[in-house]
Amino acid sequence: MSSLAELREGYERFDPCAYLRNNYLPPRADFSSEEFVVPWKLRCLADTFASGEIRGQTLIDVGSGPTIYQLLSACDHFEEIVATDYLAVNREELGRWVRGDPGAFDWSPFIQHVCKIEGRGEPWQDKERRLRDRLRRILPIDVHRPDPLGAPLDPPADALLSAFCLEAVSPDRAAFARALLHVGSLLRPGGHALLLGALGESFYLAGPARLPVVPLALADVRAALAGAGLALRELRSYEMPPALRTGVDDVHGVFFAHAQKPPQGH
């Protein structure tokens, strides 16, 4: 088992480009079928936002890393998207994409796919522009602090999203549950929390970094949500097919959870 200090040291070697290559290029980012993991994740988010129930002023994404795919369906429903990450290298990578700098990762196949599954006939460039316009803040965060941003979010977020972060930065299940409690404090009463994450994973690679992950079962996700006072609305899971077990991690599957903070007075 790793300690928080060992985890922090490991993240100093995190290479955003290697991480993007390992997870967001083929074979994992193959849009020809929803049997592949990336289209599965995008489908969960598109379906959930399609209800129109999850909307408001601000959505905060916790542990964004160097990625924006998780914000593509969300960005139509919020005035502002706040991205966050512990590492400056990841915040810089996001900034490059927002500014459209040469050398930024090419998310256009993801944007095109999301426009297709959302089925509104929207030109993908419009969605790209909207997300760039709305992604105005990219903040440092540490989910192990009771105040993860160093100050309360004012006003608190109408929705919270976090993809593959909490289990990848926590030495054990108790730390995972505490981290969820900490980030849950950024959410207003009645707000929605959406979590994507790894099941049964013990490590992943990002260039020279080999990061330990707390292996979770669906029961751990349920227990942590309940412990953070978040009422589960939906829980889906995906089993990683053998063709996608490429050696960049030992993930067994993926979960998607939609939960809600009870409204004030409940």
- Enumerate binding residues for ligand SAM (CB under 6 A): 11, 14, 23, 63-65, 67, 70, 85-87, 90, 141-144, 163-165, 168-169
- What is the smallest separation between the CB atom of 51 and ligand SAM, expressed in angstroms? 22
- What is the smallest separation between the CB atom of 63 and ligand SAM, expressed in angstroms? 4
* Residue in 89, 40, 55 with CA at minimum distance from that of residue 209: 89
Tell me how far apart the alpha carbons of residues 56 and 53 are, in angstroms, rounded to a whole number. Answer: 9
Q: Is 204 flagged in the annotation as binding? A: no
Nearer to ligand SAM by Cβ, of 122 and 139: the residue is 139
Q: Is 22 flagged in the annotation as binding? A: no
Q: Is 11 flagged in the annotation as binding? A: no
Q: Is the peptide bond before 171 cis (omega within 30 degrees of 0)?
A: no
- What is the smallest separation between the CB atom of 20 and ligand SAM, expressed in angstroms? 8
DSSP assigned state of 169: S
- What is the smallest separation between the CB atom of 183 and ligand SAM, expressed in angstroms? 9
Nearer to ligand SAM by Cβ, of 115 and 195: the residue is 195
Tell me how far apart the alpha carbons of residues 143 and 166 are, in angstroms, rounded to a whole number. Answer: 8
Q: Is 33 flagged in the annotation as binding? A: no
Nearer to ligand SAM by Cβ, of 141 and 225: the residue is 141
Sign of CA dihedral 143, 145, 147, 150: negative
Kindly provide the b/e burial profile for residues 111-120, where b requires at least 16 CB atoms within 10 angstroms of the residue's own CB.
bebbbbbbee
- What is the smallest separation between the CB atom of 67 and ligand SAM, expressed in angstroms? 4
Q: Is 64 flagged in the annotation as binding? A: yes
Q: Which residue has the tokens 């369906």?
A: 73
Tell me how far apart the alpha carbons of residues 178 and 143 are, in angstroms, rounded to a whole number. Answer: 9
Nearer to ligand SAM by Cβ, of 23 and 260: the residue is 23
Q: Is 69 flagged in the annotation as binding? A: yes
Q: Is 142 flagged in the annotation as binding? A: yes
Residue 80 zone, left/alpha/beta (φ > 0; ψ -120 to 50; rest): beta
Nearer to ligand SAM by Cβ, of 95 and 122: the residue is 95
Decide: helix, strand or coil at residue 22: helix
- Contact assessment for residue 131 and residue 81, using Cβ atoms and an 8 Å cutoff: yes
Q: Residues annotated as binding site for S-adenosyl-L-methionine? A: 19, 24, 63-64, 69, 85, 90, 142-143
Q: Residues annotated as binding site? A: 19, 24, 63-64, 69, 85, 90, 142-143
